[in-house]
Structure formats: structure tokens, C-alpha cells
Structure 1
Amino acid sequence: MGLGRFGCHLATSLTQLDHDVLAIDRGAGQVQRWSQYLDRVVQADATEEGALRQLGVTGFRRVVVAIGASVEASVLTVLALTELGVPQIWARATSDKHAKILASVGAHHVIFPEAETGERVAHLIVSKMLDFIEFGDDFAIAKVRVPDTLVGRPLRELAPADRYGVMVVGAKLPGERFRYADPATVLTAGSVLVVEGSIAQVQRFASLT
């Protein structure tokens, strides 16, 4: 619901993952623009319960309300979906107050895409991590380059959990695909590692490069 910057990228990504996607937007321009990229794009008012019922929305297990420009339209759409009994309603929020209202009218999952992206990019800018995902409770998984001081030695000898507080989950050796790491894994120059630990520990490990 809503083909703004977030909604259109989400819809195309789901389509590329081979999922059946119905996209709805009240703007004719957006519908015309994205009809060439998505199989099912409909111009309709998502706040109208009857319109959603006619479009077969009740046949979908998950619905994402990606409307961000209008808090009122966002809330009314979630309310309509709740009345229709949609099993999972994901809704985009633009503020804490907006999030509380969405949850109170029936949203099962409330997301802050701009805030989450901004926080993630901030960590990448100020560190040497290649990618970063925070899971809350001060736990993160990151992709980092293998530090030069660890090259040519097996993880069993390096003991990164004891020395640096991080667990090496996977390793991508040059020219190979990512694979799970084990104590016998020998790190080579140019390798990329997937590590987990607290945010501070992961950042410190990345800074060794």
C-alpha cells in the first residue's frame, strides 16, 4: 500500500524474490510508472475497506502499509486491514507517536526504514565495517575485511572469541563463496569475514584491518 520511495523498492524486491505482489496506490502517475515493473499494480484508495475487499486483499497473508506522506491515510489503511482480518500487517512509521497509533489500531509490525537505514549507515561511515546489522540488546553481525595480523593462521590458534570478543561465523576466501567458519579455517589475505558480537567489539575487530 503506497508506491513512494520505500514502497516501490520493497515491491520490486519482493517480486524479484518470486513472491506474488499486489501494489496499490491512489496516484495514477505512480501506478502507470510501476506497472511496467510489477505484475499487479492498481489505482485505489487503500483507506476504503470495500475497495480492498474487492481487490482481494483478504487473500494475502501479509500486507505492508508503506504510506509515509499522510499519517491519516496510513492509520486509516491499517484500520481497514484490521477490520478485514489480515493476519500480518506491517506498517511504516515516521515518528514515535505515529508508531503508537499504528500499533493501537492493529499493526502487528511497525518499522522505521529511514531511521534504521540512517543508523546503519552511520556505523559504516565511522568504522571499517563493510556491512552491519544490529539486532538490539547490543548485539550485531558485521562483514569485515580480515586483519593483516590474522592472515595465514587458523581460527583455532587465533581464538577471536577470547582475544577480541567476537565469533567468526563465516569466511569468504578470494575467488570462493561464503562458507561457515570452523576452528580449522585458515584466513588468507583479501578474505572477508562475517563476525558477531557486541557493537563495540565488532567495531574494534574491524579497526584491526
Structure 2
Amino acid sequence: MKEDLFIPLVCSRCGKELLGGDNSIIFFCLECKIGFIMENYPESLPLKIYKKNFNCEGELIYFPFYKIEGDFSFFSEDSHKTNSYSNLKKLGALFYPAFINLRSLYSEDLTLKYALQPYSFVEDNYPKEAVIIDVLVAPKNLEKIAKLFYLSYFDRAADVTNVEVDFTLKTVDFALIPFEKKGDEYRELILGTILKGFSI
């Protein structure tokens, strides 16, 4: 029987207190900008904190995402499909939600919006007055998730039946993206998208 091990809630690098809620599976050190995967402590991933591009008039909340980068390739004997895919706008990093929400469609839409606007992301420091939503989604199967996302994106241009695809994962980072909560309404502060009906 495996013994339960005591995991200190301090950074193994700088000794400062880690930040994370009661249900979070990831705890962050904002000083070192890393996130610790608590079930495999001290395993960690780099942390990127992004600057808001819009003023926040409500409560500032940071939502956690996995920033996935890699190389996607495809092959099809159908030249029409190949041309259709080639004409699609190239995607940047994929920001896959590390939180659970009640409207997953919004998350998928944000992932695409962010991938189409990679130059909208500027790194920043974490403001002390902000709140971080608990990380509830483990960093697993991200290579497969990215591959399926690309398939979905390509399917907008042409049917992906009998198309060979591959995604080679290069890097995964934790990403904290600023949102504004005003009443029952959420607005993400990278592109300014208002998420009506969004809840967590």
C-alpha cells in the first residue's frame, strides 16, 4: 500500500508559499513563474502570465489554460482538400482550458480565437488583487487534444475523411489569462470577448 506523503505548499526553488485553491491540482509559484503538478510533486511546468488588453471595471480573475505548441502536418491525395487546408490561416499556440465550465463550447471557441490572434498575448506580472481559478484539468493527452483540435479546424475548409494527420508536441506551459467578472457576466481581457451565459 502506498503511503500518503506530505507535500509542502512552498516552492522547492525559492521557498515561498504556493498559490492554489482547495480543489486545485496545480499550485503556482508566482515568484519563479512555475506551476507544480501536486500528484507528481515536484514535477512542474513553466508559467506564463498574460497582460490584459482592456481595462477591468469589475473583478479581475485569472483563468488557467495549457499553452500547447508543436508541429502539425497532414497528407491527402485529394488536391482540393490540400489546397483548402493550405488557404486556412495558420494557427498560433493552442490555449486549452485547465478549468471546468458549464459551457464547453465557449472554451473551444476561445481556443480558436486565441490561436488566430497570437500577437495579442504579452507576458505580464501577476497583480496582487486578482483571483486565480482552480486548475481542475490535468495536463494529460494534450498531444491528442491538439491533433483533434486541428482536425476540427481543417474540417471547416474541407472534409477530413481519409486525411492523414500528425501533431508533434514541442512545449506545454501553464497560462493565466485575465478575465473580468461583472455581475453574472464574464469578459476575457485579451480580445475583449463577452461570454454571455458562461459559468464555472
Q: TM-score normalized by structure 1?
A: 0.20
Whose RCO is larger (CA < 8 A, sep 6+)?
2
Give 1 or 2: higher helix fraction. 1
Q: Considering only CA atoms, is the larger Rg found in Structure 1 or Structure 2?
A: 1
Q: TM-score normalized by structure 2?
A: 0.20
